[in-house]
A and B are shown apart, each in its own frame.
Chain A
Amino acid sequence: MFDQVLFFFNALLQQTGAANFTGGNLVMIIIGGTMIYLAIAKHYEPLLLIGIGFSCIVANVPGPPDVPGGPPVSALLYVVKEGGLFHYAYEGVAKLIIPPLIFLGVGAMTDFGPMIANPKLVILGAGAHLGIFVALILAKLVGFSISEAGAIGIIGGADGPMAIFVTVKLAPHLLGPISVAAYSYMALMPMIQPPVMKMLTTPAERRIEMAQIRKVSKLEKIIFPAVIAIIVNLFFPPVAPLITMLMLGNLLKEVGVTERLAKTAGGPLMNMIIMILTVAIGSTMAADKFLTWDTILIVGLGLLAFLFGTASGVVTAKIMNLFLRNKINPLIGSAGIASVPIAARVSHIVANQANPHNHLIFHAMGPNLAGVFGTAISGGIMLALLGVQ
């Protein structure tokens, strides 16, 4: 009788995920929980971290094996595998449908005025990308192929859709860890960037107040998307789909006669894509796939890329100050790393802590927007040099 009860209890246990729970699952659940905590308590990019953190937790709650004796499959992985709801979401990421749509939405929400108004600051959009190349060389040194190293390096561009786009072209098998690293670090920039920014600047530099920039006319804002789309399609066809959609979204916003479309692209469409994208990314964080040596290396290299990118942006701004009559606050250099508008917000907050009268957000948006183009240009050149269409 007792043996029978024990047998049935054991059989019941095997039907649940409890028997398959591992220490790795616990680690990943804690990571997912930390993401949700940071989003709620610290307001670190909740739109990204809530979805990634939640699906990371669920992806690490093991279910029963799919086939007798096989590996455990979580409920989330059932909806991610072929035929499931989020299978198509993940396919949207892997088949490069979602990244251009994200850029359409970003374009429809973005005012490029600060970038047009202060063209000399666009150089910071290239200066803050040293991290890409530091990570690329280090990745090659630790044994990744040059294509994999390029995809890992692009994490340093701090541009999620671009990181996905370049990774799918160069090393699609690394899409999970690279997109997780890119989006997680983007969300955690308020923690990652300030120590580097403060280490490389003096209190006097952080207090520098910048002169008000000129007002950009509607005509300039309408012509801008067309000019950029022509330049990118002409010289950087590998990344043209993303920038073209960014510029289309921006044109919809600026022309004033397609307000409905701009609102849809930047509102409901963008919100739907964020929900799909964050679940698709978080679902790749199952412990057995995520807690591997390669993933740990990628996450570590991604962090280095962000740190070096932040540092090189600040140093570029300081070098520019050697030649400029009206000094710029070097804190806006770190905004050149892209990740709109998170990096610009970090520049503003750090400057505001040093000088409560300092409102750098508008100035920092210039290099921040230029950083989007900087990442696209770096990615485009990389794809061209590696012979990828």
Chain B
Amino acid sequence: MIPDTVYGAILLSVIDFFLSFLVISGIGFVLALFPYLNQLGTIDEKKLREGGH
């Protein structure tokens, strides 16, 4: 897909660096929504541990 040349290496680097930023920003966006999960309720950590094995 990518040519085995210096041009290919530069192309691979530019695409990869740009996409990495994009994807990790997407993960950041998903994480920014996480506080809303708390509206679903809370988990009692003590009870969780009591049920542990």
Contacts and interface: CB of A to CB of B under 8 A. Distances in A.
Given A231-B27, A257-B51, A258-B52, A140 B34 contact: no
Contacts of A260: 52-53
Contacts of B45: 218, 256
Interface in B8-28: 8-10, 12-17, 19-21, 23-28
Contacts of B26: 231
Given A116-B34, A145-B4, A219-B41, A125 B9 contact: no
B28 A219 contact: no
B28 A120 contact: yes
B1 A385 contact: yes
A258 B48 contact: no
B1 A386 contact: yes
Looking at chain A, what size class is its interface with the partner chain?
Answer: 35 or more
Interface residues of B, number: 42
A218 B10 contact: no
Nearest to B43: A218
A116 B19 CA distance: 21
Contacts of A153: 13
B38 A257 contact: no
A374 B24 contact: yes
Contacts of A382: 12, 16
A129 B12 contact: no
A129 B20 contact: yes
Contact of A130 (B17, B30, B37, B38): B17
A150 interface: yes
A119 B29 contact: yes
Contacts of A133: 13-14, 16-17
B32 to A, nearest CB: 4
Nearest to A121: B28
A126 B21 contact: yes
A123 B24 contact: yes
Interface string B31-45: 110110110111101
A87 B49 CA distance: 41
A228 B27 contact: yes
Contacts of A235: 23
Interface in A220-246: 220, 222-224, 227-228, 231, 235
A130 B13 CA distance: 9
A152 to B, nearest CB: 11
30 contacts: A122-B27, A123-B24, A129-B20, A133-B16, A136-B12, A140-B5, A140-B8, A141-B6, A145-B4, A147-B4, A214-B35, A216-B34, A217-B38, A218-B42, A227-B30, A228-B27, A231-B26, A231-B27, A231-B30, A256-B49, A256-B51, A257-B48, A258-B52, A260-B53, A370-B27, A370-B28, A374-B20, A377-B23, A378-B16, A378-B20
Nearest 7 A/B pairs, CB to CB: A256-B48, A133-B13, A119-B31, A140-B9, A126-B24, A122-B28, A218-B43
